[in-house]
Structure 1
Amino acid sequence: MSHTAHIPSHRKPRQRASKSALRAGVAGGVLSTIAVAGAAGPAQADPVTQTIEMPTITSGFSTAVAASAQATQQVALDLETQADEDAAAEKAAKTAKKAHAEAVRKAEAKKKAEAAAKAKAEAEAKQRAERASRTSERTTLSASSGSSDSGSSASAPSSSSSNVSGSAASIVAFAKAQVGDAYSLGSTGPNSWDCSSLVQAAYRTVGIDLPRVSQAQSTFGTQVSLDNLQPGDILYWGSAGSAYHVAVYVGGGQFVGAQNSSTGTVQRSLDYDRPTGAVRVL
């Protein structure tokens, strides 16, 4: 036996033919595929889809969100409450201001009313005093006129001039006693007159009934010149028969008449308002 017969060979064992053929086929196929791909050009890249992972809502996060929402709602409620309170305060302030203004107005009105009432009371008291004085004067003049008439009758019973003087004195006394009375159209006394009612009332004291209106009074009697006037004559303004104002001549170049609502019943000079004419009734 050879001395090398039992030494193992270092050569690799031969592969089987089938495995060699398979490997050759695979290699050839791969090379063929690479060759075809290279010839066809670069391969199209597939679209890349990126996936984003959302955070997971934990129970603690939900509690925080709920607490934040509740706090926001509370702030809104607080603001609404504050707005309501501000509106109520503003309304209360306006109401108080209005009430104060109304109270001031009422106080001023009350003060004015009290002042007016006081002034009216004083004026009425003054009028009563003046009326009492006029009444006393009227009584004195009437008594004097009666004495004068009696004396005249005793000395000259048929003397017409004595009778005229006596009646004229009564008319003049009555007219003067009404000075200071008010004027009111249509009034017939005893404390308020219009022009013709005063003349009518004066003549009524001696039993003479004159017409009620100035137009008729201006023609009731004998027309006389303004240069020849006697106490008791009726003065008129305007044309005879259409006069718009009348008064009583009281002597001394003066007359008494219920003039207007501003002056009332006054005694004035003929120059104050020159009459148009005069009539004599007595």
Structure 2
Amino acid sequence: MSHTAHIPSHRKPRQRASKSALRAGVAGGFLSTIAVAGAAGPAQAEPVTQTIEMPTITDGLSTAVAASAQATQQVALDLETQASEDAAAEKAAKAAKKAHAEAVRKAEAKKKAEAAAKAEAEAEERAERASRTSERTTLSASSGSSDSGSSASSPSSSSNSSNVSGSAASIVAFAKAQVGDAYVSGGTGPNAWDCSGLVQAAYRTAGIDLPRVSQSQSRAGTQVSLDNLQPGDILYWGGAGSAYHVAIYVGGGEFVGAQNSSTGTVQRSMDYDRPTGAVRVL
């Protein structure tokens, strides 16, 4: 027996003739049916007459669009308002900064001006003292030896301000009441004076209007000797008509005057700073 006699064959068995014929018949019948249907022509379709109503969505859409537009407009308005507020705040900050800088500048300028005025007043005081010293030296040299004894004491010192009456009393009382007030160049009261402003105000209490400046006040009345003074007389330093300082004689060999920014308004003895001359208005 052969070694391969029991090994089955792997070839497919042949199909039977009956099955092949059956399949061929089925296929031919199918193709014949298609051919007959094609020859008969397409069948006429029945027209569709039913109407389908679609839902309306435009109402809801328009409302949504309107709401969206309103919201957008509000957002734009809010942004514009915020921008305006930010701009106003920035402008206010710049204005405040500028105002602060201006205030600082003015304060510094005022401080410098006050310092300059103080220095000028001190310089004027030194110049006045030097001029008065020179004036006294000149007068002493020209007076002669015969007057040297009488000039050492003033006969008018016997006049006591307590015995003054009438207009002179009013003038003296007003002048004494201002002692301690400040000296300010151009001052006319009520708490700060310059020399001629004080004299003018004192005489005004007696109903007398004097010129404003010391040069004119030194020629406002009759020239009198310093040895024959009466309370209320105007003392002056410098020449008559060119005086640089005036004061009021109050009796007892003393005067009241707005001297300078350092001393203010004081009552002093005539020996402190002897005047050049005097005039009597009353």
* TM-score interval, normalised by the smaller of the two chains: 0.3 to 0.5
1:200 is matched with 200
Contact 2:155–2:227 under 8 Å retained in 1:
no
1:133 is matched with 131
Question: What is the root-mean-square deviation in Å for CA atoms of aligned residues?
Answer: 18.2
Distance verdict in 2 for CA 1:10–1:174, change over 3 Å: closer
Distance verdict in 2 for CA 1:35–1:262, change over 3 Å: farther
Distance verdict in 2 for CA 1:35–1:144, change over 3 Å: same
CA distance in 2, matches of 1:10, 1:193: 148
Stretches (4+) displaced over 3 A: 1-117, 120-165
Please say which structure displays the higher CA radius of gyration: 1
Deviates more, 1:178-187 or 1:44-53: 44-53
Contact 1:180–1:265 under 8 Å retained in 2:
yes
Deviates more, 1:19-28 or 1:147-156: 19-28
CA distance in 1, matches of 2:175, 2:4: 193
SS at match of 1:38: helix
Distance verdict in 2 for CA 1:107–1:42, change over 3 Å: farther
Alpha-carbon shift at residue 208 of structure 1 (Å): 0.1
Contact 2:135–2:276 under 8 Å retained in 1:
no
Gaps of 5+ in 2: none
SS at match of 2:236: strand
Contact 2:132–2:238 under 8 Å retained in 1:
no
CA distance in 1, matches of 2:272, 2:5: 188
CA distance in 2, matches of 1:16, 1:226: 177
Contact 1:187–1:193 under 8 Å retained in 2:
yes
Aligned residues: 280
1:63 is matched with 63
Distance verdict in 2 for CA 1:158–1:27, change over 3 Å: closer
CA distance in 1, matches of 2:45, 2:4: 62
CA distance in 2, matches of 1:276, 1:8: 169
Distance verdict in 2 for CA 1:158–1:21, change over 3 Å: closer
Deviates more, 1:179-188 or 1:74-83: 74-83
Contact 1:141–1:170 under 8 Å retained in 2:
no
Deviates more, 1:254-263 or 1:147-156: 147-156
CA distance in 2, matches of 1:280, 1:69: 96
User: Which structure is higher in RCO with an 8 Å CA cutoff and minimum separation 6?
Assistant: 2
Alpha-carbon shift at residue 131 of structure 1 (Å): 29
CA distance in 1, matches of 2:144, 2:242: 36
2:218 is matched with 218
Cα distance per residue 1:13-66 (max 9 Å; x no partner): 999999999999999999999999999999999999999999999999999999
Deviates more, 1:238-247 or 1:150-159: 150-159
SS at match of 1:228: coil
Deviates more, 1:189-198 or 1:156-165: 156-165
CA distance in 1, matches of 2:28, 2:147: 181
The correspondence of residues 99-118 of structure 1 with structure 2, limited to 5 A, is none
SS at match of 2:201: helix
Distance verdict in 2 for CA 1:95–1:251, change over 3 Å: closer
TM-score, structure 2 length as denominator? 0.43
Gaps of 5+ in 1: none
Cα distance per residue 1:74-112 (max 9 Å; x no partner): 999999999999999999999999999999999999999
Distance verdict in 2 for CA 1:238–1:51, change over 3 Å: farther
CA distance in 2, matches of 1:154, 1:89: 77
Cα distance per residue 1:208-237 (max 9 Å; x no partner): 000000000000000000000000000000
Contact 2:259–2:265 under 8 Å retained in 1:
yes
Contact 2:250–2:256 under 8 Å retained in 1:
yes
CA distance in 1, matches of 2:151, 2:227: 29
Identity value in percent: 92
Cα distance per residue 1:229-269 (max 9 Å; x no partner): 00000000000000000000000000000000000000000
Contact 1:257–1:265 under 8 Å retained in 2:
yes
Cα distance per residue 1:101-127 (max 9 Å; x no partner): 99999999999999999xx99999999
1:148 is matched with 146
Cα distance per residue 1:108-158 (max 9 Å; x no partner): 9999999999xx999999999999999999999999999999999999999
Contact 2:187–2:194 under 8 Å retained in 1:
yes
Alpha-carbon shift at residue 281 of structure 1 (Å): 0.3
Contact 1:234–1:248 under 8 Å retained in 2:
yes
Alpha-carbon shift at residue 165 of structure 1 (Å): 3.3
Distance verdict in 2 for CA 1:131–1:83, change over 3 Å: same
Distance verdict in 2 for CA 1:277–1:139, change over 3 Å: closer
